[in-house]
Structure 1
């Protein structure tokens, strides 16, 4: 088969893990190729996700690299066995790759944790709120683009609405007060947050302004747990788009950040009461 023109994020991640396996063994690409019957170009294409390999070839490479991490090898073999297209592929011609890769990560996660400082997490946004978030972009988007992005965001929420993937959301008070589309839109969004917080598998906790030190980063961050810790992924929203991190040091840092967030945020019950109080303030102010 010819090399893939545009490997998916998951295919690239598979290749990255094989490269790490090779580097930990102290092999160059040519040396590994000689050991497993691949030429150097094939090794390069494999590690960039441009060509796939069989589960048997994966295990041959792992053995050649003296990798005894059985859970990791089994998890990588599951990636090899995947077939079919994800629902997000329907949007490939109308949305940028960033949108699709976020949905891909969420779909394959075993659990998700998010922390946000500027807006409600996308997985918990109402359609009206999401539309208002996209409408604020400058230069303004055409209405049809706003509608497509909103529909995509709402469809992404099925990963948690199904109850199959648990979500922990840490929301800074600033995000609870930031308005997109006006006070009525925000009030409805706050109501929806309270309702979501009572669903099985969804934990919503607020980090109020009056904590001594905010424990997170300034960006909105998602931590997607993989089947094994080595396959965890960090996704960060920045003004230029979406960034993904999977280096062991980055993963360890963000595990620590989320642990600090959990020790600082209000309890789930306290967070519900806090959200309700903000809604009451909002309604009193704009009555």
Structure 2
């Protein structure tokens, strides 16, 4: 069964190592499943970190793959930590399933690059700005539930800051004219952005209103996550609000998104450019 709080990066790394060991040993999914007395889909779910890592199953798979002790022992020793719920587990009642997967990767990322076509990117939002958007998106939520959503976002931001994760955000100046909440909320958000731009690990680029179309024009929100673990490649998160959110790990697809975002960042004003002086409408 898939972990309720989404897999941690430690879980993903061990799952990827099992897949790599199977492929290096030339063992098919069917043969690995036969060693477990299970269906091939069970092995596939283990390798995709879609189910908990059972010590008996992992031990049998390592034996099937002929993994020597120097490789098998660290994997078995890491099972306990890999199966622990992520720190975000306490907020799972306010999270959608895709958020659990994304935060599981984001929590170990060394670099987060983000684009939003119309709003201030999530990881740069103030509590008041975020609450205003949550009230619109979740109209049935009461103040307490909205407060928990804001609390989760603040914890994500705090952990990224404490780890020194590099954050690179690109968004259009129109986001500063799209009023979320009251004027003070927008003024506070603007002050927070100006402060973020002074932080060493944060890069902010704002595309002017009169800027020509660029590679990300009309693209939905996009996030690129880089985890410093060789077993896990870069991940892309593509949001289609109200429809679906895709966590993409296919290297070619991720590269295509990275190329588009690179081109848009290259075309935008440099990061040291001050926020545009816009009068609220």
TM-score range, shorter chain: 0.7 to 0.9
Root-mean-square deviation (CA, aligned residues, Å) is 3.5
- 1:166, distance to aligned residue in structure 2 (A): 0.9
The aligned residue for residue 249 of structure 2 is 246
Following superposition of structure 1 onto structure 2, how do residues 47-196 of structure 1 map, counting pairs within 5 Å? 47-48=47-48, 49-52=50-53, 82-83=81-82, 84-137=84-137, 139-196=139-196
Give, in whole Å, the separation in 1 of the partners of 2:124 and 2:213: 25
Give, in whole Å, the separation in 2 of the partners of 1:157 and 1:212: 32
- 1:147, distance to aligned residue in structure 2 (A): 1.4
Which piece of structure 1 moves more, 107-116 or 213-222? 213-222
- 1:212, distance to aligned residue in structure 2 (A): 2.8
CA pair 7-77 structure 1, distance change in 2 beyond 3 A = farther
CA pair 247-137 structure 1, distance change in 2 beyond 3 A = same
For residue 8 of structure 1, the aligned residue among 3, 6, 9 is 6
TM-score by length of 1: 0.76
Higher RCO (CA < 8 A, seq sep 6+)? 2
- 1:46, distance to aligned residue in structure 2 (A): 1.9
Give, in whole Å, the separation in 2 of the partners of 1:7 and 1:183: 37
CA pair 175-80 structure 1, distance change in 2 beyond 3 A = farther
- The question of 1:257 aligning with 2:256 is answered no
Following superposition of structure 1 onto structure 2, how do residues 247-286 of structure 1 map, counting pairs within 5 Å? 247-270=250-273, 272=274, 275-278=275-278, 281-282=279-280
Q: How many residues align structurally?
A: 266
Structure 1: tracts of 5 or more residues without a match: 65-69
CA pair 28-174 structure 1, distance change in 2 beyond 3 A = farther
Secondary structure of the 2:112 match is: strand
When you count helix as a share of all residues, which structure comes out higher? 1
CA pair 138-126 structure 1, distance change in 2 beyond 3 A = closer
Structure 2: tracts of 5 or more residues without a match: none
Please list the CA deviations of residues 199-229 of structure 1 after superposition, one character each: whole Å capped at 9, or x if unmatched: 1201111122333322125211111102246
CA contact (8 A) 2:125 2:189 kept: yes
The aligned residue for residue 236 of structure 2 is 234
